Amino acid sequence: PVCSMGNSTSRLYSALAKTLSSSAVSQHQNCLEQPDLAQLDPIDPKDLLEECQIVLQKRPPRFQRDFVDLKKNATSNHRPIRVMQWNILAQALGEGKDNFVQCPMEALKWEERKCLILEEILAYKPDILCLQEVDHYFDTFEPLLSRLGYQCTFFPKPWSPCLDVEQNNGPDGCALFFLKDRFELINSANIRLTAMKLKTNQVAIAQTLKCNETGRLFCIAVTHLKARTGWERFRSAQGCDLLQNLKSITQGAKIPLIICGDFNAEPTEEVYREFSNSSLNLNSAYKLLSPDGQSEPPYTTWKIRPSGECRHTLDYIWYSQHALNVNSALGLLTEEQIGPNRLPSFNYPSDHLSLVCDFSFNQDPDRLL
């Protein structure tokens, strides 16, 4: 049945609907051209959330996840910076390659899955959003998020597997969004990661931002390392390359750093140890949810493929522990919430869980370096 919508929302709904049928964008030879977004009106996030909920009215309600307070009596004189990390599952891969045997194809329809993704982003209101497997950047995420006040950057994989799927929407890649009223862009680098001196198919974006409230600089990076078993040394080399780049960008950790990514690596892998032991003095924010502050969550992705059930911890938010505090972190979905058919599902749009942390600046970062 068609929902009746008042005039106040029909204009916005038509803007949302237009992002569903942009076959022009699938002519992705022009996918790196920036469309002119200056004429687009700002969107009230409440209106967009309402529109998403109308599209999703036949789906189960969104899961309740609570933030865990991690402040250790630290007082901050500025608003925390909320950072969201999420591999949102490329549409072409979800429908065409990933073979989620327990997920009905109907649950993967882009018109609705897109609204589930937007609903999750709108619910947590990140100041900075780091996404992987974005293959609907130009027809969905850039036009909508720019109208919500975000500055948007996209860097596609050179040889995206999405392009092997019929009726794909162009290559997937990493995307980084930050609120323009909170931060000023000082420097931006698109990094094609190397391994064994060779350029690889994996990428990163690193941006140096100035916090308007405090005047403090920090660097935010997003990446997605090579997938699959057997590629551990390759991931390790990619991680080393990314760390070298970030050492240069942060002037050897003088500028605080937050790195979001799907590393495709369990905490037992060499690339994880490289980040843990780096001279950049990094810690993994989600370890702080464990009782001793030393253990990663039991999973950040959980799916069922023809080869069997895969439950892994692959997604991380790393941060400069001498310069930044983690005030809170969003709790993960429980096994009961995820359900026996695992992810993705009618309830949840991706095979990876979103990670969200609130950060504040230490008052005297140099003393702790």
Over the stretch 279-293, which tens digit does the pLDDT of each residue have? Answer: 999 999 999 999 999
What is the average per-residue pLDDT within 20-26? Answer: 42
How many angstroms separate the CA atoms of 203 and 225, rounded?
8
Which is more confidently placed, 30 or 359?
A: 359
Could you say which DSSP state residue 188 is in? E
What is the average per-residue pLDDT within 256-266? Answer: 98
What is the average per-residue pLDDT within 178-184? Answer: 98
- Percentage of the chain lying above the pLDDT 90 cut: 82
pLDDT score of 174 more than 60: yes
Helix then strand count (H, E) for the chain reads 9, 15
Q: Which of 95, 96, 106, 99 is nearest to 305 (CA)?
A: 99
What is the average per-residue pLDDT within 232-256? Answer: 97
In the sheet that holds 217-224, the strands lie side by side as: 183-195, 198-211, 217-224, 257-262, 315-320, 282-284
Total structural domains within the chain: 1
**Dihedral sign (CA 42, 85, 114, 349):** negative
Domain assignment of residue 160, yes or no: yes
Domain assignment of residue 299, yes or no: yes
Domain assignment of residue 288, yes or no: yes
Residue range(s) defining the domain that contains residue 203: 79-329+338-361
Which is more confidently placed, 35 or 261?
A: 261
- DSSP class per residue in 230-245: T-HHHHHHHHHHHHHH
Return the number of other C-beta atoms located less than 10 Å from residue 77's C-beta.
Answer: 9
What is the average per-residue pLDDT within 115-130? Answer: 98
Return the number of other C-beta atoms located less than 10 Å from residue 321's C-beta.
Answer: 19
Q: Which of 204, 277, 282, 273 is nearest to 233 (CA)?
A: 273
Domain assignment of residue 54, yes or no: no
Domain assignment of residue 42, yes or no: no
What is the average per-residue pLDDT within 227-232? Answer: 96
pLDDT score of 30 more than 90: no
pLDDT at 17: 55
- Would you place residue 98 in the very low, low, confident or very high pLDDT band (cuts 50, 70, 90)? confident
Domain assignment of residue 112, yes or no: yes
Domain assignment of residue 59, yes or no: no
What CATH number corresponds to the domain at position 256?
A: 3.60.10.10
Q: Which of 358, 336, 306, 271 is nearest to 102 (CA)?
A: 306
Q: Pick the range with the lowest mean pLDDT from 67-71, 151-155, 252-256, 360-364.
A: 360-364
pLDDT score of 19 more than 70: no
